[in-house]
Structures are given as structure tokens and as C-alpha cells.
Structure 1
Amino acid sequence: MFTSWAILKKKPKQRHVIGVSFAFAGLVFVGGSVIGWKNSFGKKVKFASKSLLGIAIALCGQFVASIHFVLEEKLMKGVEKPVPPIFIIGSEGIAGIVISLAIFLQITTEFMEKIMDHMRT
């Protein structure tokens, strides 16, 4: 909603603001329950910081996805000449393959190095 407002200059309608408010309230309730959660013995659980990190990562992911959707809409509508949707989808696919291969190759390289080190000993 906020990225659409900033990038596309679309003012959110009342139903959008209400929907985002409900989603935010739900996130606050879930986050608060994780932070204040106690086990059956009445002791506080020690992993609250990891839970907060998980919530923060999820929020960052949603923010990046919202920017992606808004920029995609801006490209398809275009200022001078709209970009064809098939080109945008193809570009996303190629970028996804390149990023996935880079991550996969890094993981397999480290994994194979550990196997080779283990075999040498």
C-alpha cells in the first residue's frame, strides 16, 4: 500500500487502509505472543530474539515483494511505451535462474569441500 502510494502515486482507499491495519494488528498479536510466551513451568522461553529475527525477516521479504509488484505494474503500464508482460516474466525467470545457480553453486562448493576434507583425514 505504501509503496504503491510512493511509486505509482495511487492514494489508498479506506478499505485498503483497514485491511493493512488488520494485518498489522495480527502481526503485533503474533509477535507479542511469541515474545511473552512462557512454557508450562512458568519460565520465559529463551528464543524470543530468534523469533523476532524471523518476524523481521518476514517483514523485509514482504516489503521487497511489494516493491516488486509495484515496479512490475509501473513497467507494464509504462510512461511512454509499456513493456510487454512476456518480456517482464522472461526477465524475472532469467534473473531467478542466475541467482538460484549462484546460491546453489556456493552451497555445493562448500559442501564438497567439507566432504573432501573429511576424506583426506
Structure 2
Amino acid sequence: MRRQFRFKQIPFKEPQIDPIDEIISQLSDEMQKNQDHPLCKLLEENVKCTQQLAESLEEMSSILSDVSSNINIIPQGKSNYTKAEQIKAELEARLIFHAKCNDPNWPVNRTPNDGSNSQPNT
């Protein structure tokens, strides 16, 4: 004799809210409650400063990429260069850099064309 198994039907339930969405919702509620908290204001200032720093670093990277092709840098780790050769290369690099700093056509030194009275960077 065979046994027949009957499977119990489980009623369909709507899926619950995604736990991540729930956490994000709770965090945003908490952030709105604590908006005037000194640490929250400090965090906002920190984010602004970090964004400004990132923009400045991108600008510096752009400037250095314009200059770097004209500078002969001898890596410090190579031992086959003499101290005199390292000093000579450093002096050449500084001379080239200072010459570029005084060049009005170098992008860093250009005066803005917006009518402001800013001086070129030297």
C-alpha cells in the first residue's frame, strides 16, 4: 500500500520591504532629525572641503602633466647615477620650471579673459 503525501499549500505573501531600503529610510530619517547637530554640520563642511581638494588636485595634475615632459627627473632609487649627476638634473629641472613659471603663454600663467583684475601666477 502506497502512502500519499499531500503538500500543504502556503499562501502567497507580498514581499516585504527590502532590508537595505528600510535601513536607508531609517538613516535618512535620523539624518533629518539630526540636521542641526554640530557633527552633521562638520561632516557637511568636510565633504565640501574634500570636493574642493579633489578639484584642486585634478588641476595640479593637469599642470604637472603639462610641465613634466620638459623636466628631466632622475629617480632617486637608481644607484648608477652619481651625486653630481643628480644635483645637475635637479638644477636643470628647477631652471626649466622657473622658466615656465615666467612664460606668459604657459596655461598656469594666463590671465583670465573675464575682465577681472587678477594677476598671472608666478
* TM-score normalised by the chain length of structure 1: 0.32
Higher helix share: 1
Compute the TM-score of the two structures, normalised by the length of structure 2.
0.31
Which structure is higher in RCO with an 8 Å CA cutoff and minimum separation 6? Answer: 1
